Amino acid sequence: MGRRLFAEWLGTLFLLATVVGSGIMSERLSGGNDAIALLGNTIPTGAILVVLILVFGPISGGHFNPAVTLSMAIRRDISAAQSVQYLIAQVGGGVSGVIVAHAMFDNPLFDPGTISRTGTGQWLGEFVATFGLVATILGCLKARPEAVPYAVGLFITAGYWFTSSTSFANPAVTIARAMTNTFSGIDPAHVVAFITAQLIAAVAATYVFRWLLGSD
């Protein structure tokens, strides 16, 4: 269990270091063009998810996401006690990843976000993004488990562009991104609504796909 928790912590650290670090780099190099900055943030995030799930998936399952862990707990693939431990490791890894990204780019280590991400459209965006992510995982696990890393990376790459919220789809990521006042940040006051939408979506997707895949 110790190795599994460390894998979740380290994987989530690298995920957030990539999300925040590529956001900082993109913002600095894009010359104020938000579309270019978003593209520069999107590609590394999708790519690192493939790598991280390939590396850490055989150890911990490669969740890096409390919404995914919740889905696995509903399916009884992981116990409630283990889920709580995964949650702690994921949030801790996410926060650590933001600190690492800030340190690499000489930003203040603790710098709360100020970007407003709120409103019905953005909450719906988070629901759609998280539902789609969990659906992607569950669908691939049923028929093509070896495709999960690539499918997840591709879905999040697409989600950055087709959802209004740019597809956080992850409570640990949302908490960690509230700590960065950079391109990928979020105002801490808007975190709870995002996480609520994400968790509702994870539960909904789990039960919908339990029925759809004939595993009920």
- What tokens does 80 get? 């409630």
Q: Which residue has the tokens 């539902």?
A: 131
3-state DSSP assignment of residue 180: strand
The structural domain count of the chain equals 1
Percent of the chain with pLDDT over 70: 99
Give the residue ranges of the chain where pLDDT is below 70: 216
Token reading at 32:
């104020």
Q: How far apart are CA 97 and CA 65, in angstroms?
A: 14
Give the list of residues 6+ apart from residue 9 with CB closer than 8 angstroms, or none.
89, 90, 92, 93, 96
Buried b (16+ CB within 10 A) or exposed e, 139-163: bbbeeeeeebbbbbbebbbebbeeb
Residue 189 domain boundaries: 2-212
This prediction has a pTM of 0.95
Q: Exposed, middle or buried: residue 68 (CB in 10 Å: 0-12, 13-18, 19+)?
A: buried
Q: What is the CATH number of the domain that holds 108?
A: 1.20.1080.10
Q: How many residues does the chain have?
A: 216
Residue among 121, 125, 156 nearest 51 (CA): 156
Give the pLDDT score at 216. Answer: 57
